[in-house]
Amino acid sequence: MRDRKDIRRYQNKTMKVNKAQQEIIGFVIIVLIVVIVGVIFLGISLQKDSGIETTDAEISNFLITTMRYTSNCSKDFEADYRTISGLISATYDGRSCLDGRKAEDVLKQELTKILDSLWTAGEEYKTKYYKLTIYFQTDTRDPNTRQEPKIVIENGNADLCAVRRAGQYSIDDPPGAIITRLEICKEAE
């Protein structure tokens, strides 16, 4: 008799444990589904708020390469030329080239030349519009700390845009950073 009671107690315990395990697994599945749905909604809401459709690696790589481009603005002696990133810093510091030209003027000329050679913008071209903006931001995580742009170079017609792509490059300049942002609009492909 005693063996039958022991067997029933054992069966009851294992049934309770199995039932508890099933409930825990069900709960974990429900939590996973809720988390996945939440992440999807968060991604959609952040994408809509951005204002720019895509951040483009090609544009970001272009900006990185452009920052290393050597300009025709000498710093201290005839053969010591500033890069584009050096011209940007010199523009914010109010410096000039060795020949007396303002760094800001040289920067605008060099960037316009580079942009026009790569992305010719207009109604008759695939690139409808581009806009390069250089501004200072005290906190790169907070867009409300963005100051008025120091340089804006744009070409084409923004109303013709179908696909917007953008990229940016930051130069640390404590207490913040100088941001160079390039937005390019193309026709629908």
Condensed to tens digits (0 to 9), the pLDDT of residues 60-83 reads 898 999 999 999 888 877 778 899
Between 19 and 154, residue with greater pLDDT: 154
Residue type, 22: Q
**Mean per-residue pLDDT of the chain:** 81
Q: Assess whether 99 and 25 both reside in one domain.
A: no
pTM (2 d.p.):
0.65
List phi, psi (to 5°) of 175: -95, 20
Residue ending a domain, choose from 49, 66, 83? 49
Condensed to tens digits (0 to 9), the pLDDT of residues 145-156 reads 778 888 999 998
CA distance 68 to 70: 6
Q: Name residues whose C-beta falls within 8 Å of residue 83's C-beta, 6 or more positions apart in sequence.
A: 67, 68, 69, 70, 71
H helical segments located in the chain: 2-49, 57-67, 84-93, 103-118
| Domain extent at residue 27 | 1-49
Q: Assess whether 104 and 11 both reside in one domain.
A: no
Record the tokens describing residue 36, joined without a space.
Answer: 């996945």
Q: Assess whether 173 and 92 both reside in one domain.
A: yes
